[in-house]
Amino acid sequence: MKKIVIISGSPRNGSISNRIAVNLFKKLEKEENLQIDLIDMKESFMLPIQKVWQSKDDVPAEYLDLFTKMDEADGFIIVSPEYNGGYSSVMKNFLDHFSKPIFRQKAFGIVTGSTGLMGGMRAAQQLVQLSVALFGIVSPTLLVTPQMDKKFDENGVLLDGSFEKPIERFLEDYFWLVERLGK
């Protein structure tokens, strides 16, 4: 069974980018042989980093379950809004708590979104660089989502049927990578 962690990188109540994270979670939780966890930055707030967690011994008790999910994951899908041309600062703070071996040679899928026409492209490019710096392997197909507020409702339901194809392509390429890395 493959274990995938979706990380939703907005700390805001009513987050628009969280809508696609919820959509992906609901879609993937139905799959057999797949364990999906959704980590929402709004609910998993961490203080600014003081120490990188090299092992479970370094992790405060309240974060042990979170550490275990990250450590045991076969891959990550990072979902981030674009704030002022970059990904969310809480996402960076969150990922920086974990040592690189947790991410080494694991699949990274990058999903960004905005209410504008660029769909978070600059944030996506930066997340690719960050994922590589963490020694992750990035799926070549990014899911960049323009006008996200018009594509998904508050419950993560897809409103724009024409966007189903990009989602399916993203997931197909991402899971191809997960399977190849798992061999």
Range with the poorest average pLDDT among 10-19, 130-139, 155-164: 10-19
Domains, the chain:
2-181 (3.40.50.360)
How far, in whole angstroms, is CA 112 from its chain's centroid? 9
Across 156-164, average pLDDT: 95
Tens-digit pLDDT profile for residues 34-68: 999 999 998 877 778 788 898 899 999 999 999 99
Q: Give the DSSP per-residue string, 91-127.
A: HHHHHHTB-GGGTTT-EEEEEEE-SSSSTTHHHHHHH
> Over 80: is that where the pLDDT of 183 sits?
no
